[in-house]
Structure 1
Amino acid sequence: MDLLSDQGLRLDGRRADELREIRCKLGVFDQPDGSAYLEQGNTKVLAAVYGPHQIRGTSRIKSLPDSAVVNCQYSMATFSTGERKRRPRGDRKSQEMTAHLKQALSAAIKTELYPRSQIDVFLEVLQADGGNYCTCVNAATLALIDAGIPINEYVIGCTASLANGDVPLIDISHLEETTGGPNLTIVAMPLSGQIVVAEMLERFHVDHLEKVVGVALQGCQQIYKILDREVRDHLSYTGCASSWGQNFGS
Protein backbone atom coordinates (compact mmCIF):
# COMPACT_ATOMS: atom_id res chain seq x y z
CA MET A 1 0.00 0.00 0.00
CA ASP A 2 1.38 3.41 -1.00
CA LEU A 3 1.51 5.82 1.95
CA LEU A 4 2.06 8.91 -0.23
CA SER A 5 -0.35 10.18 -2.85
CA ASP A 6 0.69 11.56 -6.21
CA GLN A 7 0.57 15.00 -4.56
CA GLY A 8 3.04 13.90 -1.88
CA LEU A 9 0.44 13.77 0.90
CA ARG A 10 0.09 11.06 3.53
CA LEU A 11 -3.12 9.34 4.56
CA ASP A 12 -3.80 11.99 7.25
CA GLY A 13 -2.97 14.92 4.96
CA ARG A 14 0.58 15.55 6.19
CA ARG A 15 3.64 15.77 4.01
CA ALA A 16 6.46 13.25 4.43
CA ASP A 17 8.56 15.56 6.66
CA GLU A 18 5.68 16.95 8.73
CA LEU A 19 5.09 16.12 12.39
CA ARG A 20 1.69 15.43 13.83
CA GLU A 21 0.28 18.33 15.82
CA ILE A 22 1.76 18.47 19.33
CA ARG A 23 -0.09 19.90 22.33
CA CYS A 24 1.28 19.75 25.83
CA LYS A 25 0.84 21.15 29.32
CA LEU A 26 2.99 20.95 32.45
CA GLY A 27 1.72 20.78 36.02
CA VAL A 28 -1.61 19.08 35.31
CA PHE A 29 -1.78 17.41 38.76
CA ASP A 30 -1.14 18.76 42.26
CA GLN A 31 -0.32 15.48 44.05
CA PRO A 32 2.83 14.38 42.15
CA ASP A 33 6.06 16.34 42.34
CA GLY A 34 5.82 16.85 38.58
CA SER A 35 3.32 16.04 35.85
CA ALA A 36 2.59 16.64 32.19
CA TYR A 37 0.00 15.91 29.53
CA LEU A 38 1.06 15.51 25.91
CA GLU A 39 -0.84 14.93 22.68
CA GLN A 40 1.08 13.91 19.57
CA GLY A 41 -1.55 13.59 16.90
CA ASN A 42 -4.21 11.34 18.39
CA THR A 43 -1.80 9.68 20.83
CA LYS A 44 -2.41 11.11 24.29
CA VAL A 45 -0.27 10.47 27.37
CA LEU A 46 -0.25 11.50 31.02
CA ALA A 47 3.04 11.49 32.96
CA ALA A 48 3.58 11.83 36.70
CA VAL A 49 6.85 12.01 38.63
CA TYR A 50 7.40 11.38 42.35
CA GLY A 51 10.72 12.04 44.04
CA PRO A 52 13.52 12.00 44.59
CA HIS A 53 12.59 10.24 47.80
CA GLN A 54 14.05 7.67 50.14
CA ILE A 55 13.73 4.11 48.89
CA ARG A 56 10.95 2.46 50.77
CA GLY A 57 11.03 -1.13 51.89
CA THR A 58 10.89 -3.37 48.83
CA SER A 59 12.96 -6.33 47.74
CA ARG A 60 12.72 -5.44 44.03
CA ILE A 61 14.47 -2.07 44.21
CA LYS A 62 17.92 -1.79 45.77
CA SER A 63 19.52 1.53 46.58
CA LEU A 64 22.67 2.61 44.77
CA PRO A 65 25.42 4.30 46.83
CA ASP A 66 26.35 6.78 44.09
CA SER A 67 23.12 7.48 42.18
CA ALA A 68 19.35 7.44 42.28
CA VAL A 69 17.26 4.50 41.13
CA VAL A 70 14.87 5.39 38.31
CA ASN A 71 11.64 3.41 38.60
CA CYS A 72 9.24 3.52 35.61
CA GLN A 73 5.75 2.16 35.10
CA TYR A 74 4.03 2.14 31.71
CA SER A 75 0.38 1.29 31.24
CA MET A 76 -2.44 1.77 28.76
CA ALA A 77 -5.98 2.76 29.66
CA THR A 78 -8.57 0.10 28.88
CA PHE A 79 -10.18 2.46 26.35
CA SER A 80 -6.92 3.66 24.75
CA THR A 81 -7.14 1.66 21.51
CA GLY A 82 -10.82 2.22 20.76
CA GLU A 83 -11.73 -1.28 21.82
CA ARG A 84 -11.77 -3.04 25.14
CA LYS A 85 -8.22 -3.83 26.17
CA ARG A 86 -7.83 -7.46 27.20
CA ARG A 87 -4.20 -7.45 28.28
CA PRO A 88 -3.76 -6.77 32.01
CA ARG A 89 -1.25 -4.29 33.34
CA GLY A 90 2.18 -5.82 33.66
CA ASP A 91 1.90 -7.86 30.46
CA ARG A 92 5.02 -8.54 28.41
CA LYS A 93 4.54 -5.56 26.09
CA SER A 94 4.15 -3.17 29.02
CA GLN A 95 7.24 -4.62 30.70
CA GLU A 96 9.28 -4.07 27.53
CA MET A 97 8.06 -0.48 27.23
CA THR A 98 8.85 0.11 30.90
CA ALA A 99 12.41 -1.14 30.43
CA HIS A 100 12.96 1.06 27.35
CA LEU A 101 11.55 4.09 29.18
CA LYS A 102 13.84 3.50 32.13
CA GLN A 103 16.83 3.32 29.79
CA ALA A 104 15.95 6.62 28.11
CA LEU A 105 15.10 8.55 31.27
CA SER A 106 18.12 7.28 33.21
CA ALA A 107 20.30 8.81 30.50
CA ALA A 108 18.62 12.18 30.94
CA ILE A 109 18.43 12.47 34.74
CA LYS A 110 21.42 13.60 36.79
CA THR A 111 21.05 10.55 39.02
CA GLU A 112 24.44 11.15 40.66
CA LEU A 113 22.93 14.07 42.58
CA TYR A 114 20.61 11.78 44.54
CA PRO A 115 22.49 8.74 45.92
CA ARG A 116 20.44 6.12 47.73
CA SER A 117 17.23 7.72 46.44
CA GLN A 118 14.44 6.78 44.09
CA ILE A 119 12.62 8.66 41.32
CA ASP A 120 9.29 7.21 40.17
CA VAL A 121 7.92 7.96 36.70
CA PHE A 122 4.42 6.80 35.78
CA LEU A 123 3.12 6.90 32.19
CA GLU A 124 -0.47 6.27 31.19
CA VAL A 125 -1.50 6.11 27.52
CA LEU A 126 -5.03 7.50 27.33
CA GLN A 127 -5.34 7.12 23.56
CA ALA A 128 -3.04 5.17 21.26
CA ASP A 129 -2.56 6.12 17.62
CA GLY A 130 1.08 5.31 16.91
CA GLY A 131 4.36 6.35 18.50
CA ASN A 132 3.24 5.45 22.02
CA TYR A 133 6.78 4.98 23.30
CA CYS A 134 8.10 8.23 21.86
CA THR A 135 5.11 10.19 23.15
CA CYS A 136 5.72 8.72 26.62
CA VAL A 137 9.39 9.72 26.52
CA ASN A 138 8.46 13.26 25.54
CA ALA A 139 5.76 13.52 28.21
CA ALA A 140 8.09 12.11 30.87
CA THR A 141 10.76 14.68 29.99
CA LEU A 142 8.25 17.47 30.61
CA ALA A 143 7.12 15.91 33.90
CA LEU A 144 10.73 15.63 35.12
CA ILE A 145 11.27 19.31 34.33
CA ASP A 146 8.04 20.20 36.12
CA ALA A 147 9.29 18.27 39.16
CA GLY A 148 12.48 20.35 39.19
CA ILE A 149 14.67 17.27 38.78
CA PRO A 150 18.01 18.23 37.14
CA ILE A 151 18.53 16.65 33.74
CA ASN A 152 21.54 16.53 31.46
CA GLU A 153 19.34 17.73 28.61
CA TYR A 154 16.01 16.98 27.02
CA VAL A 155 15.56 13.39 25.87
CA ILE A 156 13.22 13.23 22.88
CA GLY A 157 11.69 10.38 20.89
CA CYS A 158 10.54 10.25 17.26
CA THR A 159 9.64 7.53 14.75
CA ALA A 160 10.43 7.26 11.04
CA SER A 161 9.66 4.93 8.16
CA LEU A 162 9.75 4.66 4.37
CA ALA A 163 6.91 5.34 1.96
CA ASN A 164 6.55 4.21 -1.63
CA GLY A 165 9.84 2.39 -1.42
CA ASP A 166 12.31 5.18 -0.78
CA VAL A 167 10.69 8.31 0.70
CA PRO A 168 11.44 8.83 4.43
CA LEU A 169 8.44 9.54 6.67
CA ILE A 170 8.59 11.25 10.05
CA ASP A 171 6.38 10.69 13.14
CA ILE A 172 4.43 7.59 12.10
CA SER A 173 0.74 7.14 12.92
CA HIS A 174 -0.80 3.80 13.84
CA LEU A 175 -2.21 3.28 10.35
CA GLU A 176 1.24 3.92 8.85
CA GLU A 177 2.81 1.57 11.40
CA THR A 178 0.50 -1.27 10.44
CA THR A 179 0.25 -0.79 6.67
CA GLY A 180 3.63 0.69 5.74
CA GLY A 181 7.20 -0.51 5.57
CA PRO A 182 9.85 -0.95 8.27
CA ASN A 183 9.69 1.39 11.26
CA LEU A 184 12.51 3.02 13.20
CA THR A 185 12.27 4.48 16.70
CA ILE A 186 14.93 6.94 17.84
CA VAL A 187 15.33 8.49 21.27
CA ALA A 188 18.03 11.14 21.33
CA MET A 189 19.43 14.13 23.15
CA PRO A 190 19.02 16.78 20.44
CA LEU A 191 21.50 19.31 21.81
CA SER A 192 24.43 16.88 21.93
CA GLY A 193 23.22 14.65 19.10
CA GLN A 194 23.59 11.55 21.28
CA ILE A 195 21.30 8.62 20.40
CA VAL A 196 20.01 6.93 23.56
CA VAL A 197 17.69 4.28 22.08
CA ALA A 198 17.41 3.00 18.49
CA GLU A 199 15.01 0.21 17.60
CA MET A 200 13.89 -1.20 14.25
CA LEU A 201 10.78 -3.34 13.94
CA GLU A 202 12.00 -4.54 10.54
CA ARG A 203 15.30 -4.19 8.74
CA PHE A 204 16.00 -1.28 6.44
CA HIS A 205 18.09 -1.67 3.32
CA VAL A 206 21.53 -0.21 4.00
CA ASP A 207 21.01 2.34 1.20
CA HIS A 208 18.04 3.83 3.08
CA LEU A 209 19.10 3.49 6.72
CA GLU A 210 21.22 6.66 6.96
CA LYS A 211 18.56 8.96 5.57
CA VAL A 212 15.80 7.42 7.73
CA VAL A 213 17.94 7.89 10.86
CA GLY A 214 18.62 11.46 9.74
CA VAL A 215 14.91 12.16 9.35
CA ALA A 216 14.17 10.73 12.81
CA LEU A 217 16.88 12.93 14.36
CA GLN A 218 15.44 15.96 12.57
CA GLY A 219 12.09 15.06 14.10
CA CYS A 220 13.69 14.96 17.55
CA GLN A 221 15.09 18.44 16.94
CA GLN A 222 11.70 19.79 15.89
CA ILE A 223 9.91 18.21 18.87
CA TYR A 224 12.59 19.56 21.23
CA LYS A 225 11.94 23.11 20.03
CA ILE A 226 8.19 22.72 20.56
CA LEU A 227 8.58 21.28 24.06
CA ASP A 228 11.25 23.77 25.07
CA ARG A 229 9.01 26.66 24.05
CA GLU A 230 6.19 25.24 26.19
CA VAL A 231 8.56 24.79 29.15
CA ARG A 232 9.78 28.36 28.92
CA ASP A 233 6.22 29.68 28.68
CA HIS A 234 5.24 27.59 31.69
CA LEU A 235 8.20 28.71 33.78
CA SER A 236 7.63 32.34 32.90
CA TYR A 237 4.40 32.05 34.92
CA THR A 238 5.40 29.65 37.69
CA GLY A 239 9.11 30.42 38.18
CA CYS A 240 11.97 27.94 38.04
CA ALA A 241 11.86 25.41 40.87
CA SER A 242 15.41 24.26 40.24
CA SER A 243 18.57 25.10 38.33
CA TRP A 244 17.84 22.34 35.77
CA GLY A 245 17.78 24.76 32.84
CA GLN A 246 20.89 26.82 33.42
CA ASN A 247 22.92 24.85 30.88
CA PHE A 248 20.40 25.34 28.09
CA GLY A 249 21.17 29.01 27.50
CA SER A 250 18.65 31.71 26.80
Structure 2
Amino acid sequence: MMGVVVLRRFSFSGVMAAPELLSDEGFRGDGRRPAELRQIRARMGVFSQADGSAYIEQGNTKALAVVYGPHEIRGSRWKALPDRALVNCQYSLTTFSTAERRRRPHGDRGSVELAAMLKETFEATILTRLFPRSQIDIYVQVLQADGGNYCAGVNAASLAVMDAGIPVRDLVCASSAGLAEDIPLADLSGSEEASGAPKVLVALLPAAGTMALLQLSARLHQERLETALDAATKACRALHAVLESVVRERLREGMALLAE
Protein backbone atom coordinates (compact mmCIF):
# COMPACT_ATOMS: atom_id res chain seq x y z
CA MET A 1 0.00 0.00 0.00
CA MET A 2 1.48 3.29 -1.09
CA GLY A 3 -0.52 5.56 1.15
CA VAL A 4 -3.53 6.15 3.33
CA VAL A 5 -5.97 9.01 2.87
CA VAL A 6 -7.86 9.95 6.00
CA LEU A 7 -10.72 12.43 5.73
CA ARG A 8 -11.76 14.24 8.89
CA ARG A 9 -14.46 16.91 9.03
CA PHE A 10 -14.99 19.43 11.78
CA SER A 11 -17.61 22.09 12.45
CA PHE A 12 -17.23 25.34 10.55
CA SER A 13 -18.53 28.74 11.59
CA GLY A 14 -18.12 30.73 8.39
CA VAL A 15 -15.91 31.96 5.56
CA MET A 16 -13.71 34.98 6.06
CA ALA A 17 -13.74 37.59 3.35
CA ALA A 18 -10.56 37.95 1.31
CA PRO A 19 -9.84 41.56 2.42
CA GLU A 20 -9.56 40.34 6.02
CA LEU A 21 -6.74 37.96 5.10
CA LEU A 22 -5.26 39.77 2.11
CA SER A 23 -4.42 43.42 1.60
CA ASP A 24 -5.57 45.34 -1.47
CA GLU A 25 -2.09 44.73 -2.88
CA GLY A 26 -2.46 40.97 -2.43
CA PHE A 27 -0.22 40.55 0.62
CA ARG A 28 -0.99 38.50 3.70
CA GLY A 29 -0.68 39.75 7.27
CA ASP A 30 2.96 38.63 7.52
CA GLY A 31 3.90 40.10 4.15
CA ARG A 32 3.78 36.91 2.11
CA ARG A 33 2.14 36.37 -1.25
CA PRO A 34 -0.73 33.82 -1.25
CA ALA A 35 1.41 30.89 -2.46
CA GLU A 36 4.55 31.82 -0.53
CA LEU A 37 5.85 29.58 2.29
CA ARG A 38 7.12 30.85 5.60
CA GLN A 39 10.87 30.86 6.09
CA ILE A 40 12.18 27.36 6.85
CA ARG A 41 15.23 26.40 8.90
CA ALA A 42 16.02 22.77 9.69
CA ARG A 43 18.83 20.53 10.80
CA MET A 44 19.31 16.83 11.49
CA GLY A 45 21.25 14.96 14.13
CA VAL A 46 20.52 17.31 17.02
CA PHE A 47 20.57 14.50 19.65
CA SER A 48 23.39 11.97 19.62
CA GLN A 49 21.53 9.72 22.10
CA ALA A 50 18.69 9.00 19.64
CA ASP A 51 18.88 6.86 16.50
CA GLY A 52 17.59 9.86 14.56
CA SER A 53 16.62 13.42 15.39
CA ALA A 54 15.75 16.71 13.72
CA TYR A 55 14.68 20.25 14.47
CA ILE A 56 12.67 22.54 12.21
CA GLU A 57 11.41 26.10 12.20
CA GLN A 58 8.59 27.10 9.85
CA GLY A 59 8.06 30.78 10.46
CA ASN A 60 7.56 31.09 14.20
CA THR A 61 6.51 27.46 14.62
CA LYS A 62 9.29 25.27 16.01
CA ALA A 63 9.25 21.49 16.31
CA LEU A 64 11.64 18.79 17.48
CA ALA A 65 11.49 15.08 16.60
CA VAL A 66 13.46 12.07 17.81
CA VAL A 67 13.31 8.49 16.52
CA TYR A 68 14.36 5.22 18.14
CA GLY A 69 14.47 1.93 16.30
CA PRO A 70 13.79 -0.38 14.76
CA HIS A 71 14.23 -2.28 18.02
CA GLU A 72 12.64 -5.20 19.84
CA ILE A 73 9.13 -4.72 21.15
CA ARG A 74 9.21 -3.23 24.63
CA GLY A 75 6.69 -4.34 27.19
CA SER A 76 4.01 -6.84 26.20
CA ARG A 77 5.17 -9.16 23.43
CA TRP A 78 1.59 -9.57 22.18
CA LYS A 79 1.87 -6.13 20.60
CA ALA A 80 4.42 -7.45 18.06
CA LEU A 81 3.15 -7.62 14.49
CA PRO A 82 4.34 -10.76 12.64
CA ASP A 83 4.55 -9.12 9.22
CA ARG A 84 5.70 -5.55 9.91
CA ALA A 85 7.07 -3.10 12.44
CA LEU A 86 4.87 -1.44 15.02
CA VAL A 87 5.01 2.36 14.63
CA ASN A 88 4.59 4.08 17.99
CA CYS A 89 4.06 7.86 17.91
CA GLN A 90 3.73 10.55 20.54
CA TYR A 91 2.90 14.19 19.84
CA SER A 92 2.93 17.01 22.36
CA LEU A 93 3.11 20.77 22.75
CA THR A 94 5.31 22.19 25.46
CA THR A 95 3.52 24.11 28.20
CA PHE A 96 5.18 27.30 26.96
CA SER A 97 4.50 26.76 23.23
CA THR A 98 1.41 28.98 23.19
CA ALA A 99 0.05 31.93 25.13
CA GLU A 100 -2.57 29.60 26.61
CA ARG A 101 -1.29 27.67 29.64
CA ARG A 102 -1.30 23.92 29.02
CA ARG A 103 -1.61 21.59 32.00
CA ARG A 104 -1.46 18.27 30.17
CA PRO A 105 0.92 18.67 27.20
CA HIS A 106 1.17 14.92 26.58
CA GLY A 107 -2.27 13.57 27.41
CA ASP A 108 -4.84 16.07 26.18
CA ARG A 109 -7.37 14.97 23.59
CA GLY A 110 -5.87 17.06 20.79
CA SER A 111 -2.38 15.63 21.28
CA VAL A 112 -3.74 12.07 21.33
CA GLU A 113 -5.60 12.66 18.06
CA LEU A 114 -2.56 14.26 16.42
CA ALA A 115 -0.39 11.33 17.58
CA ALA A 116 -2.84 8.98 15.86
CA MET A 117 -2.60 11.06 12.68
CA LEU A 118 1.19 10.98 12.93
CA LYS A 119 1.06 7.20 13.22
CA GLU A 120 -1.17 6.94 10.13
CA THR A 121 1.15 9.22 8.18
CA PHE A 122 4.31 7.25 8.94
CA GLU A 123 2.71 3.82 8.59
CA ALA A 124 2.05 4.92 5.00
CA THR A 125 5.64 6.16 4.62
CA ILE A 126 8.01 3.74 6.38
CA LEU A 127 8.72 0.35 4.78
CA THR A 128 7.52 -1.40 7.91
CA ARG A 129 7.43 -4.88 6.33
CA LEU A 130 11.23 -4.91 6.33
CA PHE A 131 11.19 -5.08 10.13
CA PRO A 132 8.64 -7.67 11.34
CA ARG A 133 8.14 -8.06 15.11
CA SER A 134 10.00 -4.82 15.81
CA GLN A 135 9.07 -1.33 16.96
CA ILE A 136 9.84 2.19 15.73
CA ASP A 137 9.25 5.07 18.13
CA ILE A 138 8.64 8.61 16.86
CA TYR A 139 8.38 11.45 19.36
CA VAL A 140 7.39 14.94 18.23
CA GLN A 141 7.32 18.00 20.43
CA VAL A 142 6.18 21.43 19.30
CA LEU A 143 8.32 23.96 21.11
CA GLN A 144 6.59 27.05 19.73
CA ALA A 145 3.18 27.07 18.07
CA ASP A 146 2.22 29.64 15.46
CA GLY A 147 0.25 27.73 12.83
CA GLY A 148 0.97 24.52 10.96
CA ASN A 149 1.97 22.78 14.18
CA TYR A 150 1.17 19.28 13.00
CA CYS A 151 2.79 19.96 9.62
CA ALA A 152 6.01 21.10 11.27
CA GLY A 153 5.91 17.97 13.42
CA VAL A 154 5.56 15.73 10.38
CA ASN A 155 8.40 17.49 8.58
CA ALA A 156 10.69 17.24 11.61
CA ALA A 157 9.78 13.56 12.07
CA SER A 158 10.41 12.88 8.40
CA LEU A 159 13.95 14.25 8.73
CA ALA A 160 14.49 12.32 11.98
CA VAL A 161 13.40 9.04 10.33
CA MET A 162 15.86 9.70 7.53
CA ASP A 163 18.55 10.52 10.10
CA ALA A 164 17.89 7.12 11.73
CA GLY A 165 18.49 5.41 8.37
CA ILE A 166 15.03 3.83 8.29
CA PRO A 167 13.91 2.93 4.73
CA VAL A 168 10.93 4.96 3.50
CA ARG A 169 8.90 5.18 0.33
CA ASP A 170 9.68 8.89 0.11
CA LEU A 171 10.51 11.88 2.25
CA VAL A 172 6.99 12.74 3.42
CA CYS A 173 6.13 16.44 3.69
CA ALA A 174 3.11 18.15 5.21
CA SER A 175 1.57 21.56 4.65
CA SER A 176 -1.73 23.36 5.02
CA ALA A 177 -3.70 25.68 2.77
CA GLY A 178 -6.73 27.84 3.30
CA LEU A 179 -9.14 29.97 1.30
CA ALA A 180 -9.74 33.70 1.51
CA GLU A 181 -12.96 33.68 -0.50
CA ASP A 182 -11.65 31.84 -3.58
CA ILE A 183 -7.98 32.79 -3.21
CA PRO A 184 -5.81 29.90 -1.91
CA LEU A 185 -3.30 30.64 0.84
CA ALA A 186 -0.43 28.19 1.37
CA ASP A 187 1.26 27.32 4.68
CA LEU A 188 -1.14 29.05 7.06
CA SER A 189 0.16 31.06 10.01
CA GLY A 190 -1.41 30.99 13.44
CA SER A 191 -3.49 34.13 12.87
CA GLU A 192 -4.74 32.79 9.53
CA GLU A 193 -5.77 29.50 11.12
CA ALA A 194 -7.57 31.41 13.87
CA SER A 195 -9.56 33.42 11.32
CA GLY A 196 -11.94 30.52 10.74
CA ALA A 197 -11.27 30.29 7.01
CA PRO A 198 -11.71 26.78 5.53
CA LYS A 199 -8.50 24.77 5.65
CA VAL A 200 -7.00 21.57 4.27
CA LEU A 201 -3.98 19.74 5.62
CA VAL A 202 -1.98 17.39 3.42
CA ALA A 203 0.87 14.96 4.07
CA LEU A 204 2.32 14.05 0.69
CA LEU A 205 4.81 11.56 -0.72
CA PRO A 206 5.82 13.72 -3.71
CA ALA A 207 7.71 11.15 -5.78
CA ALA A 208 4.65 8.92 -6.10
CA GLY A 209 2.16 11.77 -5.80
CA THR A 210 0.49 9.82 -2.97
CA MET A 211 -1.27 11.41 -0.02
CA ALA A 212 -0.42 9.87 3.32
CA LEU A 213 -3.02 12.07 5.03
CA LEU A 214 -5.73 14.54 4.08
CA GLN A 215 -7.69 16.52 6.65
CA LEU A 216 -10.52 18.96 6.02
CA SER A 217 -11.67 21.62 8.47
CA ALA A 218 -15.01 22.16 6.73
CA ARG A 219 -17.21 20.88 3.95
CA LEU A 220 -16.17 22.46 0.68
CA HIS A 221 -17.62 22.46 -2.80
CA GLN A 222 -15.54 20.25 -5.09
CA GLU A 223 -14.10 23.18 -7.03
CA ARG A 224 -13.08 25.03 -3.87
CA LEU A 225 -11.65 21.83 -2.39
CA GLU A 226 -9.57 21.26 -5.52
CA THR A 227 -8.27 24.84 -5.33
CA ALA A 228 -7.19 24.49 -1.70
CA LEU A 229 -5.83 20.99 -2.25
CA ASP A 230 -3.74 22.15 -5.20
CA ALA A 231 -2.23 24.94 -3.08
CA ALA A 232 -1.39 22.53 -0.24
CA THR A 233 0.11 20.00 -2.65
CA LYS A 234 2.31 22.62 -4.31
CA ALA A 235 3.44 23.78 -0.86
CA CYS A 236 4.36 20.18 0.02
CA ARG A 237 6.45 19.88 -3.14
CA ALA A 238 8.25 23.12 -2.35
CA LEU A 239 8.89 21.87 1.18
CA HIS A 240 10.17 18.58 -0.22
CA ALA A 241 12.91 20.42 -2.11
CA VAL A 242 13.96 22.23 1.08
CA LEU A 243 14.00 19.07 3.19
CA GLU A 244 15.94 17.19 0.51
CA SER A 245 18.64 19.86 0.67
CA VAL A 246 18.82 19.36 4.46
CA VAL A 247 19.24 15.59 3.96
CA ARG A 248 21.98 16.13 1.36
CA GLU A 249 23.80 18.48 3.74
CA ARG A 250 23.58 15.84 6.48
CA LEU A 251 25.05 13.24 4.11
CA ARG A 252 27.91 15.58 3.19
CA GLU A 253 28.66 16.11 6.88
CA GLY A 254 28.70 12.36 7.46
CA MET A 255 31.03 11.72 4.55
CA ALA A 256 33.35 14.49 5.72
CA LEU A 257 33.59 12.86 9.15
CA LEU A 258 34.38 9.50 7.59
CA ALA A 259 37.10 11.07 5.50
CA GLU A 260 38.86 12.54 8.55
* Conserved 8 A contact 2:178-2:197: yes
Contact 2:93 2:105 in 1 (8 A): no
Which residue does the alignment assign to 1:244? none
**Partner amino acid, structure 2, of 1:161:** G
- Provide the residue aligned with 1:55 in structure 2: 73
Matched residues in 2 for 1:147 and 1:5: separation?
44
Q: What is the count of residue pairs matched by the alignment?
A: 238
Is 1:221 aligned to residue 227 of structure 2? no
Q: Secondary structure at the match of 1:108?
A: coil
Structure having greater relative contact order (Cα 8 Å, sep ≥ 6): 2
What is the DSSP-based 3-state SS (H/G/I as helix, E as strand, rest coil) of the residue aligned with 1:191? coil
**1:134 corresponds to 2:162:** no
CA distance in 2, matches of 1:4, 1:186: 23
Deviations 1:42-80 (A, max 9, x none): 110000000110002237x71011110000000110000
Query: Matches of 1:86 and 1:64 in 2, distance apart?
Result: 34
**What is the 5 A alignment of 1:137-176?**
137-163=154-180, 165-176=181-192
Residue of structure 1 in register with 2:12 after alignment: none
Aligned-residue offset at 1:83: 3.7
Give the alignment's Cα RMSD to 1 decimal.
1.4
In the alignment, residue 48 of structure 1 is paired with which amino acid? V
Aligned twin of 2:10: none
2:86 matches 1:69 = yes
Aligned to 2:23: 5
Does residue 42 of structure 2 align to residue 45 of structure 1? no
* 1:237-248 correspondence runs (5 A): 237-239=253-255
TM-score normalised over the length of structure 2: 0.89
Structure 2's unaligned 5+ residue stretches are: 1-15
1:211 corresponds, among 223, 227, 230, to 227
SS at match of 1:204: coil
- Aligned residues of 1:3 and 1:180 also touching (Cα < 8 A): no
1:88 deviates by 4.4
How much does 1:180 deviate?
4.2
Are 1:199 and 2:215 counterparts? yes
- TM-superposed deviation, 1:128: 0.4
Paired residues of 2:199 and 2:228 also in contact (CA < 8 A): no
8 A contact 2:85–2:128 mirrored in 1: yes
CA contact (8 A) 1:138 1:155 kept: yes
Instruction: In structure 1, give the amino acid aligned to 2:135.
Output: Q
Stretches of structure 1 that go unaligned for 5 or more consecutive residues are 241-250
Question: Residue 88 of structure 2 aligns to a residue in which SS?
Answer: strand
Aligned residues: percent identity?
53
| 1:184 paired residue number | 200
Pairing partner for 1:36 from 29, 54, 58: 54
Once the two structures are superposed, residues 96-147 of structure 1 have per-residue CA deviations (whole angstroms, 9 ceiling, x without a partner) of: 0000000001111111111100000000100000111111111000000000
Secondary structure at the aligned position of 1:29 is classed as: coil
Runs of at least 4 residues off by over 6 Å: none
Which runs of structure 2 are paired with 1:50-129 in the superposition (5 Å)?
50-58=68-76, 62-129=79-146
Question: 2-side partners of 1:205 and 1:57: how far apart?
Answer: 47
The answer (yes or no) to whether the contact 2:105–2:111 under 8 Å persists in 1 is: no
Name the CA distance, whole Å, in 2 between partners of 1:205 and 1:6.
26
1:130–1:172 CA contact under 8 A, matched in 2: yes
Letter of the 1:97 counterpart: L
Query: How big is each residue's C-alpha offset from its partner over 1:200-220, in whole Å with a ceiling of 9 and x where there is no partner?
Result: 111223231111111110001
